[in-house]
Amino acid sequence: MTTVRRRGAARRQDASPGPQGLRVGSLTGWSGRTVTGAILLVFVVFFIVPLIWLLLAMTKSGGALVRQGPFSFGSWHDLVANWDQLTSFQDHAIGQWLFNSAFYSVAALVLTLVISIPAGYAMALTKFKGRRTLLVITLVVMLIPNTALVLPLFLEMNAVGLVNTALAVVLPYSFYPFGVYLAYIYFSSSIPGSLLEAARIDGAGELQVFVRIALPLAMPIIALVGFFNFVQNWNNYFLPFVMLPSSGKYPVQVGLSTLLSSTTAFNPSAAGSGSIELPTLALATVVSVLPVLIIFLFSQRFLVAGLTAGGTKG
Amino acid sequence: MTTLHEVAADPGLPGRPPRRRPSGSHVAGALFVAPYAVFLLVFGAAPTCYALYLAFTKSGQGFAGISNFSHVIGDFRFGPAVAHVSLYLLSWVIALVVLVVVLAIMVHSVGMRWLSGSLRFVYYLPGALAGASAVLLWLFVLDPSAGPAGPLLRALGYHTFSQTIHPTHLPYIFAIISFWTGAGGWILVMFGALNNISPDIIEAARIDGASRFQIAWRIQLPSLRKWIAYMVVLSLAAGTQLFVEPTLLSQASQSIVPNDYSINQLAYQYAFNLNDFNGSAAIAVLLLVVALALSALFVWRGGLFTTEER
Amino acid sequence: MHNPAASRHRSRFRAPVALAVVATFALAACSNSSASGGGKYGFKEAKQSSSAQITVWIDSTRQPAADAYKKANPNDPVKVVTYDGEANGSGSFKTKMNLYDKAGSGWPDVVFSSQNNDASWASQGTNGAQAYAAVLNKGLVPDNTLSGWSKGSLDACTVNGQVYCLRNDLAQDVLWYNKTLMDQFGYTVPKTWEDYQALGDKVAQDHPGYIIGAVGDTFAEEIYMWSSQCQANDVTGARAITINTSSTGCTQMAGLLDKEIANKSITTDSVFTPEFVKAYTGKVLMMPGPAWYAGAIFDNKTSLNVPAGQIGVAAPPSWGTNAPVTGDVGGGTWFISSHSKNLALATKFAEFVTTDDAYQVDQAPGYPAYASAGQKWIAKQQSSGYYATDLSAITTAGGEVWSGWGAPTFSQEAIWAKTMTPVITSGGSIASNLGKWQTAIADQAKVDGYTVSTK
| Residue C167 · residue C149 · CB < 8 Å | yes
Interface check A265 vs C, CB under 8 A: yes
Mean pLDDT of A68-80: 86
* Cα–Cα distance measured from residue C455 to residue C451, given in angstroms and rounded to the nearest whole number: 12
Ordered per-residue pLDDT tens for chain C, 455 residues: 444 444 444 445 454 544 444 444 444 444 443 344 568 888 899 999 999 999 999 998 899 999 999 999 999 999 999 999 998 888 999 999 999 998 889 999 999 999 989 999 999 988 788 999 999 999 999 999 999 998 888 988 998 899 999 999 989 999 999 999 999 999 999 999 999 999 999 999 999 999 999 999 999 999 999 999 999 999 998 889 999 999 999 999 999 999 999 999 999 988 888 788 888 999 999 999 999 898 888 988 878 889 999 999 999 999 988 888 999 998 899 999 999 999 999 999 999 999 999 999 998 888 999 999 999 999 998 888 899 998 999 988 988 888 899 989 999 999 999 999 989 988 899 999 999 999 999 999 999 999 999 98
The answer to the question of residue B307 being in a domain is no
**Superfamily of structural domain C54-170+330-369:** Periplasmic binding protein-like II (3.40.190.10)
Task: Please give the single-letter amino acid code of residue A136.
Answer: V
* Cα–Cα distance measured from residue A235 to residue B244, given in angstroms and rounded to the nearest whole number: 11
Interface check B287 vs A, CB under 8 A: yes
Rounded to whole angstroms, what are the CA distances from C276 to A207, A268, C202, C419? Answer: 70, 12, 22, 22
pLDDT, tens digit (0-9, with 9 covering 90-100), for C1-44: 444 444 444 445 454 544 444 444 444 444 443 344 568 888 89
Going from N- to C-terminal start, the domains of chain C cover 54-170+330-369, 173-327+392-453
With the C-alpha atoms ordered C223, C229, C235, C241, is the resulting torsion angle positive or negative? negative
User: pLDDT-derived band of residue B205, with 50, 70 and 90 as boundaries?
Assistant: confident
* Cα–Cα distance measured from residue A204 to residue A210, given in angstroms and rounded to the nearest whole number: 10
Subunits with at least 3 CB pairs below 8 A relative to chain B? A, C
Q: Where are the alpha helices (DSSP H) in chain A?
A: 2-15, 29-57, 62-67, 76-88, 93-125, 131-142, 150-159, 167-174, 177-190, 193-201, 206-208, 215-217, 219-235, 238-243, 252-261, 278-298, 300-309
Subunits with at least 3 CB pairs below 8 A relative to chain C? A, B
| Residue C74 · residue C96 · CB < 8 Å | no
* Cα–Cα distance measured from residue C155 to residue C407, given in angstroms and rounded to the nearest whole number: 10
The answer to the question of residue A142 being in a domain is yes
The answer to the question of residue A81 being in a domain is no
Closest by Cα among C179, C400, C152 to C306: C179
Rounded to whole angstroms, what are the CA distances from C245 to C275, C288, C431, C442? Answer: 31, 21, 10, 11
Boundaries of domain holding A281: 93-309
| Residue B196 · residue A313 · CB < 8 Å | yes
CATH of residue B295's domain is 1.10.3720.10
% of chain A residues with pLDDT over 90? 42
Phi then psi for residue A88, to 5 deg, are -85, -10
Contact criterion met (CB < 8 Å) for B214 and A268: no
Residues B149 and B232 in one domain: yes
Give pLDDT, residue C324. Answer: 87
Higher pLDDT, C383 or B4: C383
Query: Helix (H, G, I), strand (E, B), or coil: what is residue A202?
Result: coil
CB interface of A with C, residues 61-80, below 8 Å: 66
With the C-alpha atoms ordered C299, C304, C310, C315, is the resulting torsion angle positive or negative? negative
| Residue A180 · residue B36 · CB < 8 Å | yes
Phi then psi for residue C172, to 5 deg, are -65, 150
* Cα–Cα distance measured from residue A176 to residue B261, given in angstroms and rounded to the nearest whole number: 29
Give pLDDT, residue C368. Answer: 93
Cβ neighbours of residue C139 under 8 Å, at least 6 residues apart?
C40, C41, C42
Interface check B11 vs A, CB under 8 A: no
Q: For residue B274, how many C-alpha atoms fall within 13 Å in the half-sphere facing its CB? A: 23
The number of C-beta contacts closer than 8 angstroms across A and C is 90
**Which of B21, B43, B294 is the best mutation test for A, with the most CBs of A within 10 A?**
B43
With the C-alpha atoms ordered B253, B258, B262, B267, is the resulting torsion angle positive or negative? positive
Q: If you average pLDDT over every residue of chain B, what do you get?
A: 83
DSSP state letter for C131: P
CB interface of B with C, residues 99-128, below 8 Å: none
Give pLDDT, residue B15. Answer: 39
User: pLDDT-derived band of residue A301, with 50, 70 and 90 as boundaries?
Assistant: low
> Is the model's pLDDT at A13 over the cut of 80?
no
CATH of residue A122's domain is 1.10.3720.10
Higher pLDDT, A133 or B22: A133
Q: For residue B163, how many C-alpha atoms fall within 13 Å in the half-sphere facing its CB? A: 18
* Cα–Cα distance measured from residue B196 to residue C5, given in angstroms and rounded to the nearest whole number: 121
% of chain B residues with pLDDT over 70? 89
Give pLDDT, residue C398. Answer: 85
* Burial letters C191-212, b for 16+ CB under 10 A, else e: eebeebbebbeebbeebeebbb
The answer to the question of residue B152 being in a domain is yes
Q: Which of B5, B129, B140 sits opposite A282 (nearest CB)?
A: B140
Mean pLDDT of A58-64: 83
Q: Do domains C54-170+330-369 and C173-327+392-453 have the same CATH topology?
A: yes
Give pLDDT, residue B183. Answer: 92
* Cα–Cα distance measured from residue C43 to residue C49, given in angstroms and rounded to the nearest whole number: 17
pLDDT, tens digit (0-9, with 9 covering 90-100), for B45-96: 899 899 999 999 988 788 888 899 999 999 999 999 999 999 999 999 999 9
Which H or E run contains C110? strand C110-113
Rounded to whole angstroms, what are the CA distances from A250 to A149, A169, C62? Answer: 20, 11, 22
The answer to the question of residue A209 being in a domain is yes
pLDDT, tens digit (0-9, with 9 covering 90-100), for A247-299: 999 999 999 999 998 887 777 766 666 788 888 999 999 999 999 988 888 87
The answer to the question of residue B144 being in a domain is yes
C chain contacts of residue A272, beta-carbon cutoff 8 Å: 59-64
User: pLDDT-derived band of residue B225, with 50, 70 and 90 as boundaries?
Assistant: confident
- Angle at which helices B113-124 and A29-57 pack, to 10 degrees? 40
| Residue A286 · residue A58 · CB < 8 Å | yes
The answer to the question of residue A19 being in a domain is no
> Is the model's pLDDT at A168 over the cut of 80?
yes
Lowest mean pLDDT among A39-43, B235-239, C415-419: B235-239
Query: What's the number of domains chain B is made of?
Result: 2
| Residue B85 · residue A10 · CB < 8 Å | no
Give pLDDT, residue A154. Answer: 93
* Burial letters B282-309, b for 16+ CB under 10 A, else e: bbbbbbbebbbebbeebbeebebbeeee
DSSP lists the bridge partners of residue B58 as: B62
Measured between CA atoms, the residue of chain C closest to residue A271 is C61
Give pLDDT, residue C111. Answer: 97
DSSP lists the bridge partners of residue C158 as: C163
CA distance A185 to chain B (A): 8
* Cα–Cα distance measured from residue C254 to residue C431, given in angstroms and rounded to the nearest whole number: 5
Q: How far is CA C323 from the centre of its chain?
A: 22
* Cα–Cα distance measured from residue B205 to residue A269, given in angstroms and rounded to the nearest whole number: 65
DSSP lists the bridge partners of residue A205 as: none
The answer to whether domain C173-327+392-453 has CATH 3.40.190.10 is: yes
Which H or E run contains C235? strand C231-237
Rounded to whole angstroms, what are the CA distances from C107 to C84, C275, C337, C340, C453? Answer: 16, 39, 7, 8, 36
Cβ neighbours of residue A267 under 8 Å, at least 6 residues apart?
A260, A261, B251, B252, B254, C84, C87
DSSP state letter for A249: G
* Cα–Cα distance measured from residue C285 to residue C196, given in angstroms and rounded to the nearest whole number: 12
| Residue C211 · residue C284 · CB < 8 Å | yes
Q: How far is CA A58 from the centre of its chain?
A: 23
> Is the model's pLDDT at A314 over the cut of 80?
no
Q: How far is CA A260 from the centre of its chain?
A: 23
With the C-alpha atoms ordered B168, B174, B180, B182, is the resulting torsion angle positive or negative? negative
Q: For residue C396, how many C-alpha atoms fall within 13 Å in the half-sphere facing its CB? A: 14
| Residue B140 · residue B223 · CB < 8 Å | no
Query: What's the number of domains chain A is made of?
Result: 1
Q: Which of A54, A236, A260 sits opposite B251 (nearest CB)?
A: A260
User: pLDDT-derived band of residue B252, with 50, 70 and 90 as boundaries?
Assistant: confident
Query: Helix (H, G, I), strand (E, B), or coil: what is residue B186?
Result: helix
β-pairing verdict for C333-336 and C165-167: antiparallel
A chain contacts of residue C104, beta-carbon cutoff 8 Å: 161
With the C-alpha atoms ordered B176, B181, B182, B188, is the resulting torsion angle positive or negative? positive
Contact criterion met (CB < 8 Å) for A288 and B110: no
Boundaries of domain holding B119: 75-301
Measured between CA atoms, the residue of chain C closest to residue A276 is C60
* Cα–Cα distance measured from residue B195 to residue B220, given in angstroms and rounded to the nearest whole number: 10
Contact criterion met (CB < 8 Å) for A47 and B26: no
Higher pLDDT, C36 or A82: A82
CA distance B207 to chain A (A): 6
B chain contacts of residue C88, beta-carbon cutoff 8 Å: 254-255
Give pLDDT, residue C38. Answer: 67
Closest by Cα among C156, A183, A270, C350 to B251: A270
Task: Please give the single-letter amino acid code of residue A42.
Answer: V
Cβ neighbours of residue A257 under 8 Å, at least 6 residues apart?
A241, B132, B247, B248, B251
Q: Which of C61, C85, C102 sits opposite A158 (nearest CB)?
A: C102
Give pLDDT, residue A298. Answer: 80
Whole-prediction pTM value?
0.84
| Residue C166 · residue C334 · CB < 8 Å | yes
Interface check A274 vs C, CB under 8 A: yes
Interface check B247 vs C, CB under 8 A: no
| Residue A59 · residue A52 · CB < 8 Å | no
Task: Please give the single-letter amino acid code of residue C155.
Answer: D
| Residue A251 · residue A101 · CB < 8 Å | yes
Which H or E run contains B157? none
